[in-house]
Amino acid sequence: MDIFADIRKIVVGGLTEIARPDALRFDPDRISIERPRDPSHGEIATNAAIMAAKSMNRKPRDLAERVAEALLLDDRIDRAETAGPGFINLTLKREAWMAVIPSILASGANYGRSYMGSGRRVCVEFVSANPTGPLHVGHARGAIFGDALSRLLEFAGYCVTREYYVNDGGAQVDTLARSAHLRYLEANGKAVEFDPNAYKGEYLAELGRTLADEHGDRFVDAPESDWIDLFREASIVAMMALIRRDLASLGIVMDEYFSEKSLYGSGRIEEAIETLRERNLVYEGVLEQPKGKIVEDWEPRRQTLFRSTANGDDVDRPIRKSDGSWTYFAPDIAYHYDKVRRGFDELINVFGSDHSGYTKRMRAAVSALSDGGMAFDIKLIQLVRVMEDGRVAKMSKRAGEFVELREALEAVGSDVARFVMLTRKNDAPLDFDFAAVKEKSKDNPVFYVQYAHARICSVLRKAEREGIDVSDQSLASADLSYLNHALEVEFVRRMAEWPRMVEAAANSHEPHRIAYYLQNLASDLHGLWAKGNETASLRFLQRGEIATSMAKLALIRCAAIAIANGLDILGVTPIQEMRS
């Protein structure tokens, strides 16, 4: 049940009725159905008359009057008043709000689930970190965001594929292989010198020892060509194992790992480029030197270029280097061509914000490959600033000085990490402060929300001990006429917003909205709870008055359901009690 969706139907219905015979000529989705800030504007306000007036060539206020009259015919609506330039302010009957409670109890874990996506297939590509080491805290944000977005979309009725693009084809994995070889030499008792480009993380030392165990000293004096392939393969396998382990510790399971390397030599890159060529989007040419940026060894080079400017990019982009090999962009094009051909209805890429300069050409490519038919969204994830002991921790992967995800999770746990990473919009920077995040107080949003859930569970447990049947089925039959305090009705209104909140968040690809909603919901619960300290009639358990208690228990049980469903979207486990 979604009361806002119901009201929308009624409003649009009323409008259509009045509009006859000159049928309604505007998009009904453009009208707003929302809760006004100012309580004197009713409980739900709509701008429907203002929006429709123009296309119907009527005065907004007159139209509003007519619509308001029509709305009053619905038995859920108590008052419909027109105001301002033509708003219609609605007040619902108390029973209409209260009807939300049994509806939530009946839906349970499905409360808020939407059919908005109607089964459309979405590919969410995220993490896609180079396989050169374990994940660090910065990667974690993209990982958590991507997974939460996936969960959100699933809850909203989409069919989601979680996908990781493994960059196992470029020069970086050769550097990785050489770094592993150095560690291998080390394990064979050789003194080694690391060049500045090498990866120096401890995790490669372990791999070096393993390789020394397996191959002895065979590759100590051998030329690089003898071992590079073997070491590359071994390194990638080992690094991907670390990455999978890290993802698993966050509760993330990918549906697909797509290997960049698998594209080489298979003809698929050539095929994708050929597709672009057929559309006259590929040519041989020379790029101009970028202005304002000094490139020391610049000289004009003839390259194969993608005409990305035809689809909104600022300059055309090279897909084949002057030496004839592919640039990194070429396999990316092939990869996205593959996505297009797999039949997804929508693509979402989660990139680090350092890839912002890459988005235009990517959009241009997808647009060209799908003839403009593919919905394609790129979410940029801002960096995470890790704060430790009040200072900013440095992050450099090659030097091996970064806060590994694993360390962070050992300190704070997956639930906390996930929630905290989702308390900011994806394109806003985020401070991850170890001290603040571990704190168990209202200053920590994770515990604040968890505490609300635990408190409800606590009351339900107590009620049960006192012999009340607190099953959802039993609570659904509670006499809700006992809930007549303004705060209680307000609480129900908040919970009634959950389904539209899910749709709005899913629609805008913004899981942080769920986190904010949960904090508000938790705040309502704590507020109501504390009011019970001064006003005895607001306490959830009323001694000796089963019927009253049942009504209040039904109310808070609904809140627990909404919180649990929200946390589930974020991938956070709701806890039953705080004491430990």
Partner RNA sequence: GGCCCCGUAGCUCAGCAGGAUAGAGCGACCGCCUCCUAAGCGGUAGGCCACAGGUUCGAAUCCUGUCGGGGCCGCCA
Interactions with RNA, residue window 500-559 (CB under 7 A): 500-501, 504, 507-508, 510, 512-513, 516, 519, 523, 526-527, 529-534, 536, 538-541
Applying CB under 7 A, which of residues 193, 299, 371, 389 lies at the interface with RNA? 299
Q: Is the peptide bond before 60 cis (omega within 30 degrees of 0)?
A: no
Least Å distance between CB 308 and RNA?
11
Task: Check residue 5 for interaction with RNA (CB under 7 A).
Answer: no
Comparison of 278 and 391: residue with beta carbon closer to RNA: 391
Phi-psi region of 216 (alpha: psi -120 to 50; beta: other; left: phi over 0): left
Segment lying near RNA (by CB under 7 A), choices 194-202, 239-247, 270-278, 311-319: 311-319
Q: How far is the CB of 528 from RNA (least distance, A)?
A: 7
Main-chain phi, psi angles of 146, to 5 degrees:
-60, -40
Q: Which residues contact 151 (CB under 8 A, 6 or more apart)?
A: 511, 568, 569, 570, 571
Residues 436-475 that bind RNA (CB under 7 A): 440-443, 447-448, 451, 454-455, 457-459, 462
- HEC readout, 237-263: HHHHHHHHHHHHHCCCCCCEEEECHHH
Site for RNA in 241-280 (CB under 7 A): 260
Cβ-proximal residues to 291 (8 Å cutoff; 6+ apart), any chain: none
Residue type, position 571, single letter = G
**Inter-residue contact 71 to 13 (CB < 8 Å):** no
Give, as ranges, the residues between 327 and 356 that touch RNA (CB under 7 A): 327-328, 353-356
**Alpha-carbon span 434 to 61, nearest angstrom:** 55
Q: Which is nearer to RNA, 216 or 300 (CB)?
A: 300
Q: Does 19 bind RNA (CB under 7 A)?
A: no
Nearer to RNA, 35 or 94 (CB): 35
Calpha distance 216→369 (Å, rounded): 49
CB 155 within 8 A of CB 506: yes
Nearest approach in angstroms of CB 326 to RNA is 8
Start-to-end CA distance of the chain, whole Å, equals: 37
Q: What does the per-residue mask of binding to RNA show for 100-139, with x meaning CB under 7 A? A: ------------------------------x---------
Taking CB under 7 A as the rule, does residue 301 contact RNA? yes
Paired sense of beta strands 302-306 and 282-286, if any? antiparallel
Identify any residues that bridge with 33 across adjacent strands, giving them in sequence order: 46
Q: Which of 489, 453, 425, 386 is nearest to 91 (CA)?
A: 489
Q: What is the C-alpha to C-alpha distance for residues 381 and 151, in angstroms, rounded to an integer?
A: 18
Closest approach of Cβ 14 to RNA, in Å? Answer: 17
Site string for RNA, 198-237 (x = CB under 7 A): ----------------------------------------
Among 57, 119, 293, 371, binds RNA (CB under 7 A): 293
CB of 519 to RNA, least distance (A): 7
CB of 430 to RNA, least distance (A): 7
Does residue 23 belong to the site contacting RNA (CB under 7 A)?
no
Which residue lies nearer to RNA by CB, 30 or 341? 30
Q: Which stretch binds RNA (CB under 7 A): 317-325, 339-347, 392-400, 477-485?
A: 317-325
Total residues interacting with RNA, rule: CB under 7 A: 106
Residues 156-175 that bind RNA (CB under 7 A): 167, 169-172
Q: Which is nearer to RNA, 280 or 441 (CB)?
A: 441
Which residue in this structure is represented by tokens 């590919």?
123
**Minimum CB distance to RNA, residue 98 (Å):** 20
Amino acid identity at 394: K
Q: Sheet with 302-306: list strands edge to edge.
A: 282-286, 302-306, 317-320
Decide if 66 contacts 18 (C-beta within 8 A).
yes
Binding to RNA by CB under 7 A, coded x per residue (else -) over 63-92, reads --------------------xxx-x-x---
- Output phi, psi for 520, to 5 deg: -65, -45
Tokens at 68, concatenated: 């308001």
- Pick 97 or 447: Cβ nearer RNA: 447
> How far is Cα 81 from Cα 61, in angstroms, rounded to an integer?
11
Q: With respect to RNA, which residue has the nearer C-beta, 400 or 532?
A: 532
The least distance separating RNA from the CB of residue 110, rounded to whole angstroms, comes to 21
The residue within the footprint of RNA, chosen from 5, 22, 25, 30 (CB under 7 A), is 30
Nearer to RNA, 398 or 406 (CB): 398
Q: Which residues between 378 and 437 bind RNA (CB under 7 A)?
A: 380, 382, 424-425, 427-431
- Tell me how far, at minimum, the Cβ of 443 lies from RNA, in Å: 4
Work out whether 285 is an interface residue with RNA (CB under 7 A). Answer: no
- Rounded to the nearest whole angstrom, what is the least distance from the CB of residue 233 to RNA in the complex? 17
Q: By CB under 7 A, name the one of 29, 75, 193, 371 that touches RNA.
A: 29
Binds RNA (CB under 7 A): choice among 32, 103, 107, 474: 32
Q: How far is the CB of 501 from RNA (least distance, A)?
A: 7
Residue 189: CB minimum distance to RNA, A = 32
Question: Rg of the chain over CA atoms, in angstroms?
Answer: 29
The answer to whether the CB of 184 falls within 8 A of the CB of 206 is no
Could you please report the per-residue DSSP string of 391-416?
EEPP-BTTTTBS-BHHHHHHHH-HHH
| Minimum distance, C-beta of residue 369 to RNA, in the bound complex (Å) | 19
Torsion angle of C-alpha atoms 318, 321, 327, 330, degrees rounded to 10: 60
Binding flag, residue 16, RNA (CB under 7 A): no
DSSP assignments along 297-343, one per residue = T----EEEEE-GGGGT-SS-EEEE-TTSPBPTHHHHHHHHHHHHHTT
Q: 3-state DSSP: the chain helix, strand, coil percent, rounded to 5?
A: 55, 15, 35
